A and B are shown apart, each in its own frame.
Chain A
Amino acid sequence: MTRSLDQKPPRRWFLQTAVAGSGALVLAVTVGPMIARVRRHQKIRATEASTGIFRPSAWLAIYPDDRIVLTLDRVEMGQGTTTSHAMLIAEELEVDPAWLEVEHAVADRRYDHPEFRLQMTGGSSSVRTSWERLRYAGAVAREMLRAGAADAWGVPLAECTPRDGAVHHDASGRSRSYGSLTRRAATQPIAAPALKPPLAHVIIGTPVNRVDAPPKVDGSGVFGIDVTLPGLLYAVVVRSPEIGARVVSFDARAATRRPGVVAVVQISTGVAVVAERSWQARSAAAEVNVRWESGRRDIDTPSMTEQLRRLAALPGRPVRNDGNAEAVLNEAAGNYLEAVYDLPHLAHAPMEPQNCTASVKDDRCEVWAPTQAPGLAREVVSSTLGLPRDRVVVHTTWLGGGFGRRLAADYVLEAVEVARQVSRPVKVVWSREDDMRHSMYRPQTRHLLRAVLAADGQPRAWHHRVAAPSLLAGIIPSWMPAMTPDAVPASVNRQLGGVAERAFEGDWVADPTSTEGASDTPYDIENLRVELARHEAGVPIGFWRSVGHSHTAFAVESFIDELAVASGQDPFLYRHQLLRRAPRHRKVLVAAATAAGWGRPLSSGRFRGIAQHHSFESYVAQVAEVSVTDGNLRVHRVVCAVDCGRVINPDIVKAQMESSVVFGLSAALKQRISYRAGQVEQSNFHDFEMLRFDEMPQVDVVMLPSSDDPTGVGEPGVPPVAPAVANAVTAATGRRIRTLPIERVLEGQT
């Protein structure tokens, strides 16, 4: 959806501007009331605040002392949002993005994600959904400041030029800084502003330095775990060893006698030891004796694998059915290719373990959390404590990684449950073991693929059955109340949540996140059927960087490689032919192959594999270069071509592709979460390993030039990594990798 620049700005944005002025909730600290009204014909009138602070929109405040504050409505977890959002607004405001002070928005409906209707960061959507409205926010402020200057000087508006944080009247040599214009600007009615044409961009498209880097090189950045408050207590939660087990009783006598221990309290996830210091809580926690009811000891990975095997053997619910793949397969009378791919549960393991600080008073609650979903956190706290939403303040800090884990609010809920039982603010910090064993995992899945090849090797039929659990079924009920308007009563929300849950449970609708990347395969195959066989895993699952694409891409891009090999064709050319109706996929495929020197000889012992995948509206293709010596796999180089529409900051796009390659390699080569008798077997970085320095391949990123609207970069680089490497391993060894992680396969453990 592209809007030409001379068209009216989206109505939604103006509504938000109107709301923005109607209350000073967001930055309630210093600000007097500020009223902005949207008039007909898209004219804005903002009355002046007693403080002289100019707030032309929910995102921007300009102070009389020239400070410009950007309120970030998305969170920064490393993906570069702070910088890209500052760039978008600065481009139109005519300031250096480094001048902007950035603060994280507290939870407030004004900052709801326009698509998810919930204040959250995910789906690689921040730049895509802010690209237009933040530029408008900058342009509206700029035009009001210009009009203010014209008014002050009594000169025509056309003679007033905004530049470097000031309005200039070049004819007379006069200029006034933005800060000196705040009162006058606030009362200027303006017409809908025109955005700069892309050719006039001086910030967008350039490798602006990260604005969040300085506090991250001197230890001054405040992550959730760094929050301090007067009288702060620290809590450690003793958790159930088995999934689903609840506390029967506990004996805290020994723990209570330990130095510094203030309280030992029961919460829904276990028993919390609260102390003056973290270590006091941690060491006392070891002395709490908890009797647990027995949990789901029946849950283990071998039985889940068996369930998935059985599910994949039966017909599933069709989610795409072009032509008649089933008939072609039946006619082939067994003369078809078949492969099964298995992918394990995975933890996110962000470097910052889960944590949250909470202060609960009778009529009010404040929490500080490294959360991807402040809007969900607020709803969860509000419903837990029975407080109206406006009595719950959710502050967001820097996030020490997110990767989807922090879309859940479990750790926020814990902090609130503890804090309501003690009279001081409390910070709950998880151990690494807690984080590894109590995550919301990327689900274990199984993929069954079948294809019938024509005489020329082209697939006549493609049949893909995905056996996977539904992420949305588990999430919708808790998200629903946070997504509906505040006016919707809780009872209605519960009903809506229940209906949505039943819709997925009863398989009335197929969860699109289970088959994304499979159901929309771009390969031009006449008879193509994709089915979903819903698995009830009974373990906590959640969004993991690239979500469904993280497993579907491995299946699709491995199988297409198998077809190429089976028909004796080059895997690049084979894909290229089948992408005849997918020009953007094709372009990144060619770009990656070209940059990697596909087809040219490699040094001895090295082999290439290729994969492409479209996700979060971006297109990525990768070529991996590997060697396998005595069963030891080494990835030497990954070439990554990306088309993410217009590039806002090429260095951040590059960084996100590098990041995705490392994230994807850790999973493809090493990682697996497994259950045994209801317990996660892995516990820390020695048995859930990350790629380390000495295993890091060279990464070359190619960005395709584009004038399309910008699309995602945080996740789309992840899905092609595993199949590109697995395909390269096949090229090197002749052995097809159909189970992840690869190192485990090469070691003969599966």
Chain B
Amino acid sequence: MAWREPNATMAITFRLNDEVVSLDDDGDTPLLWVIRESAGLTGTKFGCGRSLCGACTVHLDGRAIRSCSTPLRAVEGATVHTVESLSHDRSHPLQRAWLEENVPQCGYCQSGQLMSAAALLAQNPSPTDAEIDAAMRGNICRCGTYLRIRRAIHRAAAELQRGKA
């Protein structure tokens, strides 16, 4: 994929969900807006613009980061994954667990929740409640789905463990 921006200022190349992306854009542009508007992947949400709510969480080289406060220049040569990369058919263990537990209410924060949870499980395959709370406390849910998210993370972790066994 390649995009030409109307007011190019610097050339950036990075991997986005395993596709190579090259674009010319203002290097200060937060990654969030590049993902949403240039790449057209709108699953990643804008919530606060200041890394306070986690709605914009994506993975940068496997780590959960807040794309609203990550300038485009910082992802040169890196790999970025968004919620759209979890699976093509909602088959990721976390997505399945989210559906099983009927987690979403309004759903707006859930992409960010899922990406924070995915980063957590990649690092810690069977987190305790306290470890989940610590990893997830940067993600706000105004509808209050925390208890279900916690259960869903445990459920997905158990499934991943079974898959390995």
Contact B99 A214 (CB under 8 A): yes
Q: Which chain A residues border B46 with CB–CB below 8 Å? A: 225, 353, 429
Residues of A within 8 A of B144 (CB): 658-663, 691
Residues of B within 8 A of A399 (CB): 106
A selection of 7 A-B contacts at a CB cut-off of 8 Å is A217-B114, A226-B42, A655-B145, A658-B148, A660-B144, A690-B142, A693-B133
Q: Chain B residues near A280 (CB, 8 Å)?
A: 7, 26
Interface residues of A in 699-742 (CB under 8 A from B): 699
| Interchain pairs with CB closer than 8 A, number | 192
Q: Are B111 and A219 in contact (CB under 8 A)?
A: yes
B69 → chain A closest CB, angstroms? 12
Residues of B within 8 A of A403 (CB): 142
Residue among A222, A225, A276, A350 making CB contact with B106, cutoff 8 Å: A350
Given contacts A219-B41, A228-B40, A351-B140, contact A213 B48 (CB under 8 A): no
Residue numbers in B under 8 Å from A694 (CB-CB): 130, 133-134, 137
Q: Are B140 and A685 closer than 8 Å at their CB atoms? A: yes
Within 8 A of B (CB), among A628-679: 651-652, 655, 658-663
Give Cα distance in the complex from A698 to B28, angstroms: 42
Q: A399-B106, A694-B134 are in contact. Are A432 and B48 (CB under 8 A)?
A: yes
Task: Kindly list chain A residues whose C-beta atoms are within 8 Å of the C-beta of B16.
Answer: none
Complexed CA–CA distance, A653 and B134 (Å): 28
Majority secondary structure, B binding face: loop
Q: Which residues of A contact B90 (CB under 8 A)?
A: 214, 217-218
- Give chain A nearest CB distance to B10 CB in angstroms: 12
Per the 8 Å Cβ criterion, residues 37-81 of B in contact with A are 37-38, 40-50, 52-53, 55
Chain A residues within 8 Å of B43, by CB: 218-220
With A222-B42, A353-B46 already in contact, the answer to whether A78 and B105 are too (CB < 8 A) is: yes
A residues contacting B by CB (< 8 A) are 76-80, 207, 209-210, 212-223, 225-226, 228, 234, 259-260, 276-280, 283, 349-353, 398-403, 429, 431-432, 651-652, 655, 658-663, 684-686, 690-694, 696, 698-699
Closest to B133 in A: A694
Q: In the bound complex, do residue A662 and residue B146 qualify as a contact, i.e. CB atoms below 8 Å apart?
A: yes
Chain A contacts of B103 at CB under 8 A? 213, 217
Q: With A431-B49, A432-B48, A662-B146 given, can you name 10 additional A-B contacts, CB distance below 8 Å? A: A78-B107, A80-B105, A214-B90, A219-B43, A223-B45, A260-B7, A276-B6, A351-B53, A398-B108, A400-B108
Whether the Cβ atoms of B7 and A216 lie closer than 8 Å is no
Return the contact of B45 from the options A214, A225, A651 (Cβ within 8 A).
Answer: A225
Name the distance in Å between B57's Cβ and chain A's nearest Cβ: 12
Contact check, A218 vs B87: say whether CB atoms are below 8 A apart.
yes
> How far is B147's CA from A658's CA once the two chains are assembled, in angstroms?
8
Residues of A near B159 (CB, < 8 A) are none
Residues of B within 8 A of A214 (CB): 90, 99
Chain A nearest CB: distance from B148 CB in Å? 7
CA distance A217 to B89 in the complex (A): 10
Give chain B residues whose Cβ lies under 8 Å from the Cβ of A225.
42, 45-46
A693 x B45 contact (CB < 8 A)? no
Q: Which of B144-164 contact A (CB under 8 A)?
A: 144-150
| Given A217-B95, A350-B142, A432-B47: A692 and B106 interface contact (C-beta under 8 Å) | no
Tell whether B102 is near chain A: CB-to-CB under 8 Å. yes
In angstroms, Cα B26 to Cα A283, docked, is 11
